[in-house]
Protein backbone atom coordinates (compact mmCIF):
# COMPACT_ATOMS: atom_id res chain seq x y z
CA UNK A 1 0.00 0.00 0.00
CA UNK A 2 1.33 3.45 -0.90
CA UNK A 3 0.31 6.08 1.64
CA UNK A 4 0.92 9.78 1.04
CA UNK A 5 3.05 11.03 3.97
CA UNK A 6 1.55 13.43 6.46
CA UNK A 7 2.26 16.99 5.45
CA UNK A 8 4.47 17.76 8.43
CA UNK A 9 5.89 14.28 8.83
CA UNK A 10 3.95 13.46 12.00
CA UNK A 11 0.54 13.84 13.52
CA UNK A 12 -0.11 16.31 16.27
CA UNK A 13 -2.08 19.35 17.33
CA UNK A 14 -0.29 21.51 14.77
CA UNK A 15 -0.88 19.05 11.93
CA UNK A 16 -2.25 21.01 8.93
CA UNK A 17 -4.51 18.05 8.06
CA UNK A 18 -6.51 18.92 11.14
CA UNK A 19 -6.07 22.65 10.70
CA UNK A 20 -7.43 22.58 7.14
CA UNK A 21 -10.25 20.11 7.77
CA UNK A 22 -12.71 22.57 9.29
CA UNK A 23 -16.21 22.28 7.79
CA UNK A 24 -16.56 24.26 4.56
CA UNK A 25 -18.90 24.14 1.53
CA UNK A 26 -18.24 21.85 -1.43
CA UNK A 27 -18.58 24.84 -3.78
CA UNK A 28 -20.74 23.29 -6.45
CA UNK A 29 -22.21 26.80 -6.56
CA UNK A 30 -21.36 30.24 -5.24
CA UNK A 31 -23.12 31.65 -3.36
CA UNK A 32 -24.05 28.27 -1.87
CA UNK A 33 -27.65 27.15 -1.42
CA UNK A 34 -27.99 28.07 2.29
CA UNK A 35 -27.77 31.73 1.22
CA UNK A 36 -30.67 31.56 -1.26
CA UNK A 37 -33.81 33.50 -0.29
CA UNK A 38 -37.42 33.66 -1.40
CA UNK A 39 -38.80 36.62 -3.29
CA UNK A 40 -40.18 38.26 -0.17
CA UNK A 41 -36.70 38.41 1.37
CA UNK A 42 -34.67 39.72 -1.55
CA UNK A 43 -34.26 36.41 -3.34
CA UNK A 44 -35.97 34.96 -6.40
CA UNK A 45 -39.61 34.14 -7.07
CA UNK A 46 -41.52 32.56 -9.93
CA UNK A 47 -42.04 35.87 -11.73
CA UNK A 48 -38.32 36.63 -11.76
CA UNK A 49 -37.48 33.13 -12.97
CA UNK A 50 -40.08 33.36 -15.73
CA UNK A 51 -38.43 36.55 -16.90
CA UNK A 52 -34.98 34.95 -16.86
CA UNK A 53 -36.23 32.03 -18.95
CA UNK A 54 -37.70 34.42 -21.48
CA UNK A 55 -34.34 36.15 -21.90
CA UNK A 56 -32.50 32.98 -22.98
CA UNK A 57 -31.51 33.36 -26.64
CA UNK A 58 -32.70 30.76 -29.17
CA UNK A 59 -29.13 29.76 -29.99
CA UNK A 60 -27.91 29.65 -26.39
CA UNK A 61 -27.00 26.06 -25.44
CA UNK A 62 -28.49 24.95 -22.13
CA UNK A 63 -28.18 22.01 -19.79
CA UNK A 64 -31.04 20.42 -17.86
CA UNK A 65 -31.06 18.49 -14.61
CA UNK A 66 -34.09 16.33 -13.81
CA UNK A 67 -34.53 15.28 -10.19
CA UNK A 68 -36.32 12.03 -9.28
CA UNK A 69 -36.73 12.17 -5.48
CA UNK A 70 -37.55 8.49 -4.88
CA UNK A 71 -35.63 5.35 -3.98
CA UNK A 72 -36.82 1.82 -3.32
CA UNK A 73 -34.39 1.71 -0.39
CA UNK A 74 -32.93 4.50 1.73
CA UNK A 75 -29.16 4.39 2.14
CA UNK A 76 -28.08 5.76 5.51
CA UNK A 77 -25.16 7.72 4.03
CA UNK A 78 -27.30 9.57 1.48
CA UNK A 79 -27.36 13.37 1.52
CA UNK A 80 -29.86 13.79 -1.33
CA UNK A 81 -33.43 15.08 -1.28
CA UNK A 82 -35.21 11.74 -1.61
CA UNK A 83 -37.71 9.43 0.04
CA UNK A 84 -38.15 5.69 0.09
CA UNK A 85 -41.19 4.11 -1.55
CA UNK A 86 -42.06 0.46 -2.05
CA UNK A 87 -44.97 1.38 -4.34
CA UNK A 88 -44.62 2.76 -7.85
CA UNK A 89 -47.89 4.76 -7.84
CA UNK A 90 -46.36 7.84 -6.13
CA UNK A 91 -43.54 7.82 -8.67
CA UNK A 92 -45.98 7.73 -11.60
CA UNK A 93 -47.98 10.62 -10.18
CA UNK A 94 -44.82 12.64 -9.63
CA UNK A 95 -43.75 12.01 -13.22
CA UNK A 96 -47.07 13.34 -14.51
CA UNK A 97 -46.42 16.59 -12.63
CA UNK A 98 -42.81 16.67 -13.83
CA UNK A 99 -44.08 16.57 -17.44
CA UNK A 100 -46.25 19.58 -16.62
CA UNK A 101 -43.26 21.48 -15.20
CA UNK A 102 -41.37 20.86 -18.44
CA UNK A 103 -44.31 22.42 -20.28
CA UNK A 104 -44.36 25.44 -17.92
CA UNK A 105 -40.65 26.04 -18.49
CA UNK A 106 -41.16 25.79 -22.25
CA UNK A 107 -44.02 28.27 -22.11
CA UNK A 108 -41.97 30.73 -20.04
CA UNK A 109 -39.02 30.45 -22.43
CA UNK A 110 -41.34 31.12 -25.37
CA UNK A 111 -39.34 28.88 -27.69
CA UNK A 112 -37.65 25.47 -27.68
CA UNK A 113 -34.38 25.84 -25.81
CA UNK A 114 -31.26 24.34 -27.36
CA UNK A 115 -30.38 21.41 -25.09
CA UNK A 116 -26.85 20.00 -25.20
CA UNK A 117 -26.64 18.28 -21.77
CA UNK A 118 -29.27 16.30 -19.84
CA UNK A 119 -28.70 14.64 -16.48
CA UNK A 120 -31.21 12.54 -14.51
CA UNK A 121 -30.38 12.34 -10.82
CA UNK A 122 -32.03 11.50 -7.57
CA UNK A 123 -32.91 9.58 -5.65
CA UNK A 124 -32.74 6.71 -8.07
CA UNK A 125 -33.90 7.58 -11.58
CA UNK A 126 -32.90 4.03 -12.55
CA UNK A 127 -36.01 2.80 -10.72
CA UNK A 128 -38.20 4.36 -13.44
CA UNK A 129 -39.90 1.88 -15.71
CA UNK A 130 -38.99 1.69 -19.38
CA UNK A 131 -42.18 3.30 -20.68
CA UNK A 132 -41.84 6.18 -18.22
CA UNK A 133 -38.24 6.83 -19.26
CA UNK A 134 -39.36 6.85 -22.89
CA UNK A 135 -42.30 9.17 -22.15
CA UNK A 136 -40.06 11.59 -20.24
CA UNK A 137 -37.70 11.71 -23.21
CA UNK A 138 -40.61 12.47 -25.54
CA UNK A 139 -41.86 15.34 -23.37
CA UNK A 140 -38.40 16.85 -23.08
CA UNK A 141 -37.94 16.68 -26.85
CA UNK A 142 -41.24 18.47 -27.42
CA UNK A 143 -40.07 21.45 -25.41
CA UNK A 144 -36.30 21.38 -25.91
CA UNK A 145 -34.33 21.26 -29.14
CA UNK A 146 -31.79 18.50 -28.48
CA UNK A 147 -28.50 19.04 -30.28
CA UNK A 148 -27.33 16.11 -32.43
CA UNK A 149 -24.47 15.38 -30.03
CA UNK A 150 -26.44 15.97 -26.82
CA UNK A 151 -24.96 14.14 -23.85
CA UNK A 152 -27.60 12.33 -21.80
CA UNK A 153 -26.61 10.76 -18.49
CA UNK A 154 -28.48 8.90 -15.76
CA UNK A 155 -27.50 8.09 -12.18
CA UNK A 156 -27.87 4.35 -11.67
CA UNK A 157 -28.37 2.07 -8.68
CA UNK A 158 -27.39 -1.34 -10.10
CA UNK A 159 -29.96 -3.07 -7.90
CA UNK A 160 -32.73 -1.40 -9.94
CA UNK A 161 -31.52 -2.40 -13.39
CA UNK A 162 -33.18 -5.06 -15.51
CA UNK A 163 -33.20 -5.71 -19.24
CA UNK A 164 -36.42 -3.64 -19.38
CA UNK A 165 -34.68 -0.74 -17.63
CA UNK A 166 -31.90 -0.77 -20.21
CA UNK A 167 -34.50 -0.57 -22.99
CA UNK A 168 -35.90 2.51 -21.25
CA UNK A 169 -32.44 4.05 -21.13
CA UNK A 170 -32.07 3.50 -24.85
CA UNK A 171 -35.48 5.06 -25.53
CA UNK A 172 -34.49 8.09 -23.47
CA UNK A 173 -31.36 8.39 -25.58
CA UNK A 174 -28.94 7.85 -22.69
CA UNK A 175 -25.32 7.72 -23.81
CA UNK A 176 -23.60 8.13 -20.42
CA UNK A 177 -24.09 6.16 -17.22
CA UNK A 178 -23.14 7.19 -13.69
CA UNK A 179 -23.11 4.13 -11.44
CA UNK A 180 -23.19 4.37 -7.67
CA UNK A 181 -20.86 1.96 -5.92
CA UNK A 182 -19.74 3.68 -2.67
CA UNK A 183 -17.91 0.61 -1.25
CA UNK A 184 -17.92 -3.14 -1.94
CA UNK A 185 -16.99 -4.27 1.58
CA UNK A 186 -19.93 -6.27 3.06
CA UNK A 187 -19.53 -4.81 6.56
CA UNK A 188 -19.49 -1.25 5.25
CA UNK A 189 -22.48 -1.96 3.00
CA UNK A 190 -24.49 -3.39 5.88
CA UNK A 191 -23.71 -0.38 8.05
CA UNK A 192 -24.87 2.11 5.40
CA UNK A 193 -27.87 -0.02 4.29
CA UNK A 194 -26.50 -0.39 0.76
CA UNK A 195 -26.11 -4.06 -0.11
CA UNK A 196 -24.65 -4.24 -3.62
CA UNK A 197 -22.32 -6.99 -4.73
CA UNK A 198 -19.44 -6.55 -7.11
CA UNK A 199 -20.92 -9.28 -9.33
CA UNK A 200 -24.25 -7.44 -9.66
CA UNK A 201 -22.45 -4.20 -10.45
CA UNK A 202 -20.29 -5.86 -13.08
CA UNK A 203 -23.41 -7.44 -14.61
CA UNK A 204 -25.03 -4.02 -15.02
CA UNK A 205 -21.87 -2.50 -16.48
CA UNK A 206 -21.75 -5.28 -19.06
CA UNK A 207 -25.46 -4.87 -19.87
CA UNK A 208 -25.01 -1.16 -20.48
CA UNK A 209 -21.97 -1.66 -22.68
CA UNK A 210 -23.75 -4.33 -24.70
CA UNK A 211 -26.59 -1.80 -25.20
CA UNK A 212 -24.10 0.66 -26.73
CA UNK A 213 -23.72 2.94 -23.71
CA UNK A 214 -19.97 3.23 -23.79
CA UNK A 215 -19.26 6.15 -21.45
CA UNK A 216 -19.20 5.06 -17.82
CA UNK A 217 -18.67 6.91 -14.53
CA UNK A 218 -18.46 5.20 -11.14
CA UNK A 219 -18.98 6.94 -7.80
CA UNK A 220 -17.03 5.71 -4.77
CA UNK A 221 -16.77 7.08 -1.24
CA UNK A 222 -14.14 7.29 1.45
CA UNK A 223 -14.76 8.19 5.08
CA UNK A 224 -17.56 5.63 5.48
CA UNK A 225 -18.27 3.77 8.74
CA UNK A 226 -15.95 0.82 9.38
CA UNK A 227 -13.99 1.65 6.22
CA UNK A 228 -10.28 0.91 6.48
CA UNK A 229 -7.32 1.48 4.20
CA UNK A 230 -7.37 -2.22 3.34
CA UNK A 231 -11.09 -2.37 2.51
CA UNK A 232 -10.94 0.87 0.51
CA UNK A 233 -7.92 -0.36 -1.41
CA UNK A 234 -9.81 -3.51 -2.41
CA UNK A 235 -12.87 -1.50 -3.47
CA UNK A 236 -10.75 0.81 -5.62
CA UNK A 237 -9.09 -2.20 -7.26
CA UNK A 238 -12.53 -3.64 -8.04
CA UNK A 239 -13.73 -0.31 -9.43
CA UNK A 240 -10.64 -0.08 -11.66
CA UNK A 241 -11.30 -3.62 -12.95
CA UNK A 242 -14.64 -2.38 -14.35
CA UNK A 243 -12.64 0.04 -16.54
CA UNK A 244 -14.84 3.15 -16.16
CA UNK A 245 -13.96 6.27 -18.13
CA UNK A 246 -14.38 8.41 -15.03
CA UNK A 247 -14.36 7.87 -11.29
CA UNK A 248 -15.74 10.30 -8.73
CA UNK A 249 -14.16 9.73 -5.31
CA UNK A 250 -16.17 11.69 -2.77
CA UNK A 251 -15.60 12.06 0.94
CA UNK A 252 -18.67 10.94 2.88
CA UNK A 253 -20.46 14.03 4.22
CA UNK A 254 -21.83 13.23 7.66
CA UNK A 255 -24.57 15.82 8.23
CA UNK A 256 -27.11 14.19 10.60
CA UNK A 257 -28.47 17.60 11.62
CA UNK A 258 -29.73 17.95 8.05
CA UNK A 259 -30.30 14.31 7.02
CA UNK A 260 -31.77 12.61 10.06
CA UNK A 261 -31.47 9.09 8.61
CA UNK A 262 -27.70 9.48 8.95
CA UNK A 263 -28.27 9.10 12.70
CA UNK A 264 -28.54 5.39 11.94
CA UNK A 265 -24.75 5.50 11.52
CA UNK A 266 -22.82 5.32 14.80
CA UNK A 267 -20.37 8.21 14.80
CA UNK A 268 -17.82 6.06 16.62
CA UNK A 269 -17.64 3.85 13.51
CA UNK A 270 -16.51 6.74 11.30
CA UNK A 271 -12.82 7.27 10.50
CA UNK A 272 -11.30 10.36 12.06
CA UNK A 273 -9.81 13.26 10.08
CA UNK A 274 -6.36 11.70 9.83
CA UNK A 275 -7.82 8.41 8.62
CA UNK A 276 -10.02 10.20 6.07
CA UNK A 277 -6.99 12.04 4.73
CA UNK A 278 -4.98 8.82 4.48
CA UNK A 279 -7.87 7.08 2.69
CA UNK A 280 -8.19 9.87 0.13
CA UNK A 281 -4.47 9.87 -0.60
CA UNK A 282 -4.34 6.07 -0.88
CA UNK A 283 -7.25 5.97 -3.33
CA UNK A 284 -5.77 8.83 -5.34
CA UNK A 285 -2.44 7.03 -5.67
CA UNK A 286 -4.12 3.77 -6.70
CA UNK A 287 -6.07 5.56 -9.42
CA UNK A 288 -3.03 7.45 -10.68
CA UNK A 289 -1.07 4.19 -10.80
CA UNK A 290 -3.87 2.70 -12.91
CA UNK A 291 -3.50 5.47 -15.50
CA UNK A 292 -6.26 7.86 -14.40
CA UNK A 293 -5.68 11.61 -14.45
CA UNK A 294 -6.62 13.50 -11.28
CA UNK A 295 -9.29 16.13 -11.97
CA UNK A 296 -9.68 18.75 -9.26
CA UNK A 297 -10.06 17.43 -5.72
CA UNK A 298 -12.15 14.29 -6.22
CA UNK A 299 -12.57 13.24 -9.87
CA UNK A 300 -10.41 11.01 -12.05
CA UNK A 301 -10.59 10.27 -15.78
CA UNK A 302 -8.86 8.32 -18.49
CA UNK A 303 -6.43 10.62 -20.37
CA UNK A 304 -8.51 10.34 -23.55
CA UNK A 305 -11.77 11.23 -21.79
CA UNK A 306 -13.29 14.64 -22.54
CA UNK A 307 -13.09 15.61 -18.84
CA UNK A 308 -9.33 15.06 -18.80
CA UNK A 309 -8.96 17.02 -22.03
CA UNK A 310 -11.04 19.87 -20.61
CA UNK A 311 -8.83 19.98 -17.51
CA UNK A 312 -5.70 20.00 -19.65
CA UNK A 313 -7.05 22.81 -21.84
CA UNK A 314 -8.35 25.02 -19.02
CA UNK A 315 -12.04 24.36 -19.83
CA UNK A 316 -12.97 22.48 -16.66
CA UNK A 317 -16.11 23.68 -14.86
CA UNK A 318 -17.83 22.86 -11.58
CA UNK A 319 -21.56 22.57 -10.98
CA UNK A 320 -24.04 20.60 -8.91
CA UNK A 321 -22.85 17.29 -10.40
CA UNK A 322 -19.23 18.08 -9.48
CA UNK A 323 -16.56 18.56 -12.14
CA UNK A 324 -17.76 18.77 -15.72
CA UNK A 325 -16.73 19.76 -19.21
CA UNK A 326 -20.21 21.17 -19.83
CA UNK A 327 -19.65 24.76 -21.09
CA UNK A 328 -23.29 25.86 -20.80
CA UNK A 329 -23.93 29.02 -18.80
CA UNK A 330 -27.59 28.04 -18.34
CA UNK A 331 -28.70 25.04 -16.29
CA UNK A 332 -32.43 24.35 -16.06
CA UNK A 333 -33.43 22.53 -12.89
CA UNK A 334 -36.54 20.33 -13.13
CA UNK A 335 -38.23 18.45 -10.32
CA UNK A 336 -38.55 18.89 -6.57
CA UNK A 337 -35.58 20.62 -4.89
CA UNK A 338 -33.61 20.96 -8.13
CA UNK A 339 -31.41 24.04 -8.61
CA UNK A 340 -31.01 26.00 -11.83
CA UNK A 341 -28.28 28.42 -12.80
CA UNK A 342 -28.66 31.32 -15.20
CA UNK A 343 -26.46 34.38 -15.85
CA UNK A 344 -28.70 36.43 -13.55
CA UNK A 345 -28.50 34.04 -10.60
CA UNK A 346 -29.62 30.76 -9.06
CA UNK A 347 -33.13 29.41 -8.57
CA UNK A 348 -34.24 26.43 -6.52
CA UNK A 349 -37.51 24.53 -6.72
CA UNK A 350 -39.67 23.66 -3.73
CA UNK A 351 -38.04 20.73 -1.91
CA UNK A 352 -41.10 19.08 -0.35
CA UNK A 353 -42.48 16.78 -3.04
CA UNK A 354 -46.15 17.33 -2.14
CA UNK A 355 -45.85 21.13 -2.16
CA UNK A 356 -43.85 21.03 -5.39
CA UNK A 357 -46.56 18.95 -7.06
CA UNK A 358 -49.41 21.12 -5.80
CA UNK A 359 -47.72 24.28 -7.12
CA UNK A 360 -47.11 22.81 -10.58
CA UNK A 361 -50.65 21.48 -10.75
CA UNK A 362 -51.86 25.06 -10.22
CA UNK A 363 -49.93 26.00 -13.34
CA UNK A 364 -47.16 27.84 -11.46
CA UNK A 365 -43.40 27.49 -11.73
CA UNK A 366 -42.46 25.78 -8.42
CA UNK A 367 -39.83 28.29 -7.29
CA UNK A 368 -38.97 28.27 -3.59
CA UNK A 369 -35.96 30.60 -3.47
CA UNK A 370 -32.82 31.72 -5.20
CA UNK A 371 -30.32 34.56 -5.37
CA UNK A 372 -29.66 37.38 -7.81
CA UNK A 373 -25.93 37.58 -8.46
CA UNK A 374 -24.19 40.84 -7.67
CA UNK A 375 -21.00 41.77 -9.49
CA UNK A 376 -19.05 40.80 -6.40
CA UNK A 377 -20.85 37.41 -6.32
CA UNK A 378 -19.97 36.77 -9.96
CA UNK A 379 -16.33 37.70 -9.40
CA UNK A 380 -15.94 35.53 -6.30
CA UNK A 381 -17.75 32.66 -8.01
CA UNK A 382 -15.22 32.82 -10.83
CA UNK A 383 -12.25 32.89 -8.45
CA UNK A 384 -13.59 29.98 -6.40
CA UNK A 385 -14.27 27.94 -9.55
CA UNK A 386 -10.76 28.62 -10.86
CA UNK A 387 -9.25 27.52 -7.54
CA UNK A 388 -11.40 24.38 -7.44
CA UNK A 389 -10.74 23.50 -11.09
CA UNK A 390 -7.26 24.82 -11.88
CA UNK A 391 -5.80 25.32 -8.39
CA UNK A 392 -4.87 28.84 -9.44
CA UNK A 393 -6.12 32.16 -10.73
CA UNK A 394 -4.41 34.97 -12.60
CA UNK A 395 -4.55 38.60 -11.48
CA UNK A 396 -4.39 39.71 -15.12
CA UNK A 397 -7.27 37.40 -16.09
CA UNK A 398 -9.31 38.65 -13.15
CA UNK A 399 -8.68 42.30 -14.04
CA UNK A 400 -9.62 41.63 -17.65
CA UNK A 401 -12.94 40.13 -16.57
CA UNK A 402 -13.88 42.49 -13.73
CA UNK A 403 -11.81 45.65 -14.08
CA UNK A 404 -11.12 47.70 -10.97
CA UNK A 405 -13.29 45.41 -8.84
CA UNK A 406 -10.59 42.74 -9.14
CA UNK A 407 -8.32 44.72 -6.78
CA UNK A 408 -10.45 43.63 -3.81
CA UNK A 409 -9.73 39.96 -4.49
CA UNK A 410 -6.07 40.62 -5.31
CA UNK A 411 -5.57 42.41 -1.99
CA UNK A 412 -7.24 39.51 -0.16
CA UNK A 413 -5.08 36.99 -2.03
CA UNK A 414 -1.88 38.92 -1.20
CA UNK A 415 -2.84 38.91 2.48
CA UNK A 416 -3.50 35.17 2.40
CA UNK A 417 -0.16 34.48 0.74
CA UNK A 418 1.61 36.54 3.39
CA UNK A 419 -0.18 34.73 6.22
CA UNK A 420 0.28 31.20 4.86
CA UNK A 421 2.95 29.39 6.91
CA UNK A 422 2.36 25.96 5.35
CA UNK A 423 3.35 26.69 1.77
CA UNK A 424 -0.10 25.82 0.43
CA UNK A 425 -0.94 29.14 -1.28
CA UNK A 426 1.72 31.04 -3.17
CA UNK A 427 2.10 33.93 -5.61
CA UNK A 428 4.02 33.10 -8.76
CA UNK A 429 4.42 36.24 -10.89
CA UNK A 430 0.80 37.31 -11.55
CA UNK A 431 -0.73 33.97 -10.56
CA UNK A 432 -2.02 32.85 -7.17
CA UNK A 433 -1.40 29.13 -6.93
CA UNK A 434 -2.45 26.31 -4.61
CA UNK A 435 0.70 24.23 -4.37
CA UNK A 436 0.62 20.44 -4.84
CA UNK A 437 0.87 20.02 -1.06
CA UNK A 438 -2.14 22.29 -0.61
CA UNK A 439 -4.38 20.81 -3.31
CA UNK A 440 -6.12 18.29 -1.00
CA UNK A 441 -7.31 21.37 0.92
CA UNK A 442 -8.58 23.35 -2.08
CA UNK A 443 -12.07 23.65 -0.58
CA UNK A 444 -10.66 25.35 2.50
CA UNK A 445 -8.45 27.68 0.46
CA UNK A 446 -11.37 28.53 -1.84
CA UNK A 447 -13.44 29.36 1.25
CA UNK A 448 -11.04 32.24 2.00
CA UNK A 449 -12.75 34.14 -0.84
CA UNK A 450 -16.31 33.32 0.27
CA UNK A 451 -17.93 36.55 1.46
CA UNK A 452 -20.95 34.66 2.84
CA UNK A 453 -19.14 32.06 4.95
CA UNK A 454 -19.99 32.49 8.60
CA UNK A 455 -23.21 34.34 7.89
CA UNK A 456 -26.41 32.67 9.03
CA UNK A 457 -26.68 29.20 10.55
CA UNK A 458 -25.45 27.06 7.66
CA UNK A 459 -23.40 24.00 8.70
CA UNK A 460 -21.08 22.05 6.41
CA UNK A 461 -19.20 18.77 6.23
CA UNK A 462 -15.50 18.23 6.81
CA UNK A 463 -13.08 20.02 4.47
CA UNK A 464 -11.10 16.77 4.03
Domain of 355, CATH number, reads 3.20.20
- Domain assignment present for residue 180? The answer is yes
431 and 342 inside one domain: no
pLDDT one-digit tens code per residue, 208-249: 999 999 899 999 999 999 999 999 999 999 999 999 999 999
Structural domain span for residue 72: 30-372
140 and 263 inside one domain: yes
DSSP-based three-state secondary structure for 271: coil
- Domain assignment present for residue 208? The answer is yes
- Domain assignment present for residue 454? The answer is no
Q: How far apart are CA 217 and CA 203, in angstroms?
A: 15
pLDDT one-digit tens code per residue, 253-298: 877 777 787 777 888 999 898 999 999 999 999 999 999 999 999 9
The closest alpha carbon to 363, from 142, 97, 115, 76, belongs to 97
Instruction: List the alpha helices (DSSP H) in 144-214.
Output: 163-172, 186-191, 198-210
Instruction: List the alpha helices (DSSP H) in 173-272.
Output: 186-191, 198-210, 229-241
φ/ψ (deg, to 5) at 322: 100, -140
Query: Which residues share a beta bridge with 425?
Result: 434
pLDDT one-digit tens code per residue, 54-97: 999 999 999 999 999 998 888 777 777 788 888 999 999 999 99
Residue 368 has pLDDT above 80, yes or no: yes
- The count of domains in the chain is 2
241 and 330 inside one domain: yes
172 and 120 inside one domain: yes
Q: Is the pTM of this model over 0.85?
A: yes
Give 69-105 as a DSSP string.
Answer: -EESS--TT--SS-EE-S-SHHHHHHHHHHHHHHHHH
Question: Domain ends where: 352, 372, 392?
Answer: 372
* pLDDT the model gives residue 35: 92
**Section 94-101 average pLDDT:** 98
Helix (H) or strand (E) holding 301: strand 299-301
Instruction: List the alpha helices (DSSP H) in 242-333.
Output: 273-289, 306-312
159 and 238 inside one domain: yes
Check residues 410 and 327 and name the one with the higher pLDDT: 410
- Domain assignment present for residue 131? The answer is yes
- Domain assignment present for residue 20? The answer is no
Residue 338: pLDDT band by 50, 70, 90 thresholds?
very high
Residue 10 has pLDDT above 90, yes or no: no
Residue 416 belongs to domain with CATH number: 1.10.10.920
Amino acid sequence: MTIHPNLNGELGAADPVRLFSAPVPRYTSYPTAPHFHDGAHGGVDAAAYRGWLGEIGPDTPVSAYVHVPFCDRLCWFCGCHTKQTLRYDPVQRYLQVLHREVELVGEAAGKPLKLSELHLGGGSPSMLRAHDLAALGETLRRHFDFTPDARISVEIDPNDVTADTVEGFKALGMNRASIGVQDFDPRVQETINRIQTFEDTRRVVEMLREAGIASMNIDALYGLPHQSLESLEKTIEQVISLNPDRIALFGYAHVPWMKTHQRMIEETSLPDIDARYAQARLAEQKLRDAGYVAIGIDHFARPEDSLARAADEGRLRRNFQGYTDDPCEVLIGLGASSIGRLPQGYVQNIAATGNYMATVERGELPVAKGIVLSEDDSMRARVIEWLMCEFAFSAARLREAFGAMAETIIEEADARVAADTHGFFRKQCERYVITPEGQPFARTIASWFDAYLGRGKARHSSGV
